Chain A
Amino acid sequence: MKPGDGVETYGREAQPRVGFFTDTSVCIGCKACEVACKEWNLVPDDGLVWTGNSYDNSGELSANTWRHVAFIEQEAPDPLKRGKHDFRWLMESDVCKHCTHAGCLDVCPTGAIFRTEFGTVVIQDDVCNGCGYCVTACPFGVITKRELGGDGGMHKCTLCYDRLQDGMEPACAKACPTDSIQFGPLDELVERARERCGDLVEAGVSEARLYLADENDGIGGAGAFFLLLDEPEVYGLPPQPIVPTKNLGTIWGAAAVAAGALAAGVAAAFLGSGK
């Protein structure tokens, strides 16, 4: 996996890139990750709203929910089960992907968002001025503005940057009862994930697939990747995300053309007639 934009600035101080491998095939949907994250990172509760969407009352990732467990009830055969089953219940703990090419990081105008020496992407709460540009640049809809208590800042998973400083595991991965969330050096995780996915496919779970584990995808692979049992969209994930910066040249080019055209238009306005 590539190191991630910006990590080169650390020179020899750069650490091995770390991340999360979330194996949804063993997720029991307990939401320990959500709570452990909130306890450690002092993330406020997000209001009491019952959605009726299976057991998911967190709804989505946001400034106040840095881990979100999705619940999907399907009338579909469950290849993990013996015999004939026509129903399955998928659960997946979603989180910031810590993209190799991170849209939020690219567009942040204040430098509040930065790439850490561990290859992760973190918002500095003491710098962020809440401009909201990162919201539009995230292909996964991870970041939002925290409106509670007049906070006004943008928040998301830090992959427990503070804990990493002491070699501690991020709170969610530590709490996860079934090791559905695994933390570690990304290379090792990817290798482990490939093996696990291969085992599942071999065992007849043809739906098993890795998501964001390929450095040639539109975000250069992610620091947090997943083993899924269905299409990404089913979990609310984009099927082929790309970082918007990928088209930066086109965009600046179009702006230059437009600026030139504007200049030409004004010139034409003066040249049209002497008056």
Chain B
Amino acid sequence: MSATSPTDALSYYGRPIIKEPVWESDIPLYFFTGGLAGASDLLALGAQLSGNSRLRTSALASATFGVAISPYLLIKDLGRPLRFLNMLRVFKVTSPLSVGTWIFSAESTATGIAAACRLFGVLPRVRATAQVLAGLIGPAQATYTGALVAQSVVPAWHEARRELPVVFAASAAASAGGAAAILTPAEQAGPARRLGVIGGVAEVAASKLMEKRLGQLVGSVYHEGEAAKYSRLARASTLAGTGLMALAGRRRAGAVAAGALLLTGSLCNRFAVYHAGKQSARDPHHTSILQKERGGRAVTQPSNRAGNGSSPAASTR
């Protein structure tokens, strides 16, 4: 009843301490498309090296789709889209987004060249070189987005900083495997299926580990709201896709269904992480309780008492 709600004494009217990320759904979508591109390029490189040209073409197609749609998503989410080129003003190792911009630029350029050569059937050596480059950058492209969200003050992201790149890499692998399995005849699609299965298993396992490591307080976001919805959907799709791929991937219909499930799972997983971040940012206690447990020196009393992080106030209520 009173203006200061007694039930929430250790916050300011229950308001968040940090701000919720301003990114809209373009960004989790990009995590998906970017991951798909990176892992697909690597898959294409593997196919090129192993002489599986059919698979190489499918994987390159997935990668091309990924790098083609990603800039649209990235630019659209900018507050001032016309200034997207400002991303290339600097290179900052402290900013995964800056590093990622350069990675993505290289990745998309290499992929674009490879795809153009394939499309017009020209310059095979240029194409091969570009594919090698794209394949080598691919893992970075698929994982930097995990680093990007981890490098933040959002509890559900920062506290998962060790797991998030792995989750994103696994998710990228699952989606790349799934996509290539759909696009490739069964005979040539073996590595794609296996990548799908490996990725799917890893994705589910890594996500599970991440939730566990987040602990009860912050991890709870995956059991609430949008994050829970997407998280459940992601897990179910990925598990089903993985199983189906392993059991029925050799049949065309099975491969298509399994691939679609893996793609859905990967996409949903990105949205689960995205919403988990937003939800944990909204809750002031996620921020404050974690910090208090960690301890530190932000609060000091310079005289009379030794400065330490513990509360000098006897009681405020």
Per the CB under 8 Å rule, do A and B touch in the complex?
yes
Residue A44 lies at the interface, judged by CB distance under 8 Å to chain B: no
Q: Kindly identify, within residues 1 to 49 of chain B, every residue whose CB is under 8 Å from any CB belonging to chain A.
A: 2-4, 9-13, 15-23, 38-39, 42-43, 46-47, 49
Are B97 and A75 touching (Cβ within 8 A)?
A: no
Residue of A nearest to B197 (CB): A269
Are B21 and A238 touching (Cβ within 8 A)?
A: no
Residue A263 lies at the interface, judged by CB distance under 8 Å to chain B: yes
A121 to chain B, nearest CB (A): 13
Are B151 and A212 touching (Cβ within 8 A)?
A: no
Q: Which of A14-22, A126-134, A180-188 contacts B (4 or more CB under 8 A)?
A: A126-134
Residue A41 lies at the interface, judged by CB distance under 8 Å to chain B: no
Are A70 and B12 touching (Cβ within 8 A)?
A: yes
A242-B296, A265-B198 given; A129·B21 CB < 8 A: no
**Cα of A201 to Cα of B191 in the assembled complex, Å:** 70
Are B301 and A197 touching (Cβ within 8 A)?
A: yes
Q: Chain A, 169-205, contact with B by CB distance < 8 Å: what is the 0/1 string?
A: 0000000000000000000000001100110011000
Residue B158 lies at the interface, judged by CB distance under 8 Å to chain A: yes
Contact of A269 among B86, B194, B304 (CB under 8 A): B194
Chain A residues with Cβ below 8 Å from B225 are none
Residue A262 lies at the interface, judged by CB distance under 8 Å to chain B: yes
Chain A residues with Cβ below 8 Å from B148 are 133
Q: Kindly identify, within residues 228 to 262 of chain A, every residue whose CB is under 8 Å from any CB belonging to chain B.
A: 228, 230-242, 244-245, 247-248, 250-252, 254-255, 257-262
A140-B18, A250-B162, A263-B42 given; A207·B312 CB < 8 A: yes
Q: Kindly identify, within residues 131 to 160 of chain A, every residue whose CB is under 8 Å from any CB belonging to chain B.
A: 131-133, 135-146, 151-154
Size of chain B's interface in residues, with CB distance under 8 A? 110
B187 to chain A, nearest CB (A): 7
Q: Which of B72-80, B107-115, B123-131, B214-222 contacts A (4 or more CB under 8 A)?
A: B72-80
Are A141 and B18 touching (Cβ within 8 A)?
A: yes
Are A129 and B79 touching (Cβ within 8 A)?
A: yes
Most chain-A CB neighbours within 10 Å: which of B13, B146, B315? Answer: B13
Chain B residues with Cβ below 8 Å from A239 are 288, 291-292, 296, 298-299, 309
Chain B residues with Cβ below 8 Å from A112 are 86
A254-B165, A255-B146 given; A108·B79 CB < 8 A: no
Q: Chain B, 299-313, contact with A by CB distance < 8 Å: what is the 0/1 string?
A: 111111101010111
Q: Kindly identify, within residues 203 to 229 of chain A, every residue whose CB is under 8 Å from any CB belonging to chain B.
A: 206-214, 216-219, 228
Q: Chain A, 48-71, contact with B by CB distance < 8 Å: what is the 0/1 string?
A: 000111101001100000000010
Residue B92 lies at the interface, judged by CB distance under 8 Å to chain A: yes
Residue A9 lies at the interface, judged by CB distance under 8 Å to chain B: no
Residue A42 lies at the interface, judged by CB distance under 8 Å to chain B: no
Are A210 and B302 touching (Cβ within 8 A)?
A: yes
A132-B21, A262-B142 given; A108·B305 CB < 8 A: no
Chain A residues with Cβ below 8 Å from B16 are 141
**Cα of A60 to Cα of B13 in the assembled complex, Å:** 11
**Cα of A248 to Cα of B277 in the assembled complex, Å:** 18
Chain B residues with Cβ below 8 Å from A131 are 77-79, 87, 97
Q: Chain B, 65-97, contact with A by CB distance < 8 Å: what is the 0/1 string?
A: 000000000000111110110110110101111
Are B87 and A234 touching (Cβ within 8 A)?
A: no
Chain B residues with Cβ below 8 Å from A74 are 4, 316-317
Are B317 and A75 touching (Cβ within 8 A)?
A: yes
**Cα of A207 to Cα of B195 in the assembled complex, Å:** 59
Q: Chain B, 178-210, contact with A by CB distance < 8 Å: what is the 0/1 string?
A: 000000000110111011001100100000000
**Cα of A235 to Cα of B284 in the assembled complex, Å:** 11
> With contacts A254-B166, A258-B165, A263-B42 known, what are 12 further pairs, Cβ within 8 A?
A54-B4, A73-B2, A108-B95, A142-B19, A144-B19, A145-B79, A198-B304, A234-B12, A240-B309, A247-B161, A262-B38, A270-B46
Chain A positions within 8 Å of B, measured between CB atoms, are: 51-54, 56, 59-60, 70, 72-76, 103, 106-112, 127-133, 135-146, 151-154, 193-194, 197-198, 201-202, 206-214, 216-219, 228, 230-242, 244-245, 247-248, 250-252, 254-255, 257-263, 265-270, 272-275
What are 24 of the A-B contact pairs (CB < 8 Å)? A73-B2, A74-B317, A128-B79, A131-B77, A131-B79, A131-B87, A132-B22, A132-B23, A133-B148, A136-B152, A198-B303, A207-B312, A209-B299, A231-B311, A233-B11, A241-B291, A242-B153, A254-B163, A258-B142, A262-B142, A266-B39, A266-B195, A269-B192, A270-B49
Chain B positions within 8 Å of A, measured between CB atoms, are: 2-4, 9-13, 15-23, 38-39, 42-43, 46-47, 49-50, 77-81, 83-84, 86-87, 89-90, 92, 94-98, 101, 138-140, 142-144, 146-154, 157-158, 161-166, 168-170, 172-173, 177, 187-188, 190-192, 194-195, 198-199, 202, 277, 281, 284, 287-288, 291-292, 294-305, 307, 309, 311-317
